[in-house]
């Protein structure tokens, strides 16, 4: 039995990385997937791959920092599939710099995508889930939201904010049958992490008790569990998936 049979799932930032793996896995488990990304070529690729494998997927281009795009994403999904069961707020960017060097633009960009983007998409999707009386929202935070990180004032502020919003929405939307949870990945082997200098990457690996980076698929498996009916009593949780780095 497929774990997400006929559920309709939106995954933001699913052109590559963790989002892409999530889209492929959800489709494999029977979900109708709305692949969304700011990059149309990458997003179309993910959706095409799902359809070639016999799954159901459409691509909707959306820059999550734009409220109109988030609205269009929710409306297009509802029009195409008639409902929205799952929203994975996964799109995110890095614009690292130490406090003294960080520009206002770097700060604003990361807050717009990683924090406001989550607000925009959730606000657009929530009315539809409320009407259904059911839904799952998975917000992608990061372990750095829990312990801070050198050079990431903007990113840590946004990801800590995502945890805060998750707890508010778990309270506000829980009564309407909607579960809202946050996931904090550690260091996962994606393009995002490949931009980190080799020396720092090696130091990061050494800090992880499991001695390696995580794989996007491993994070997608956790999203799958949270999105499935197996996790119907999990609400407002903040779950780390980090090889033990926070121990």
- The residues of the shown chain that bind ligand NAP, judged by CB under 6 A, are 12-13, 15-19, 37-39, 42, 62-65, 90-93, 113, 117, 140, 142, 185, 187-188, 190-193
Say which DSSP state 187 is in: S
Cβ-based nearer residue to ligand NAP, 170 or 188 = 188
Shortest approach of ligand NAP to residue 244 CB, angstroms? 15
- Assess whether 147 carries a catalytic annotation: no
Token couple for 184:
């904090």
Shortest approach of ligand NAP to residue 49 CB, angstroms? 14
Q: What are the CA-CA distances from residue 12 to residues 2, 43, 53, 61, 81 (Å)? A: 22, 10, 21, 9, 17
Q: Residue holding tokens 């508010």?
A: 168
Cβ-based nearer residue to ligand NAP, 169 or 187 = 187
In which order are the strands placed within the sheet that holds 32-37?
Answer: 56-61, 32-37, 8-12, 86-89, 135-140, 178-185, 238-241
Shortest approach of ligand NAP to residue 52 CB, angstroms? 19
- What is the four-CA torsion angle of 99, 164, 246, 106, rounded to 10 degrees? -30
Cβ-based nearer residue to ligand NAP, 21 or 85 = 21
Shortest approach of ligand NAP to residue 98 CB, angstroms? 19
Cβ-based nearer residue to ligand NAP, 42 or 165 = 42
Per DSSP bridges, beta strands 86-89 and 135-140 are: parallel
Catalytic residue selected from 155, 169, 187, 223: 155
Which sequence positions are flagged as catalytic? 155
């Amino acid at each position: 039995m497929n774990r997400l049979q006929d559920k309709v799932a939106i995954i933001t930032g699913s052109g590559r990385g963790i989002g892409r793996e999530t889209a492929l896995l959800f489709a494999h488990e029977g979900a109708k997937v709305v692949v969304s990304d700011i990059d149309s070529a990458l997003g179309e690729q993910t959706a095409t791959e799902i359809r070639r494998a016999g799954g159901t997927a459409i691509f909707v281009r959306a820059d999550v920092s734009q409220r109109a795009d988030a609205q269009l994403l929710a409306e297009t999904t509802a029009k195409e599939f008639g409902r929205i069961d799952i929203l994975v707020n996964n799109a995110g960017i890095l614009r690292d710099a130490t406090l003294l060097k960080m520009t206002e633009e770097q700060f604003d960009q990361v807050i717009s995508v990683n924090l406001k983007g989550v607000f925009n998409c959730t606000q657009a999707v929530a009315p539809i889930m409320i009407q259904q009386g059911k839904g799952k929202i998975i917000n992608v935070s990061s372990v750095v939201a829990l312990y801070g990180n050198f050079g990431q004032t903007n990113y840590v502020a946004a990801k800590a904010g995502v945890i805060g919003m998750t707890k508010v929405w778990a309270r506000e939307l829980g009564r309407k049958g909607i579960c809202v949870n946050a996931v904090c990945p550690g260091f996962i082997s994606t393009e995002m992490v490949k931009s980190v200098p080799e020396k720092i990457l090696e130091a990061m690996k050494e800090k992880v008790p499991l001695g390696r980076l995580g794989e996007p698929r491993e994070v997608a498996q956790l999203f799958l569990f949270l999105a499935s009916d197996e996790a119907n009593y999990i609400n407002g949780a903040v779950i780390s998936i980090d090889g033990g780095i926070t121990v």
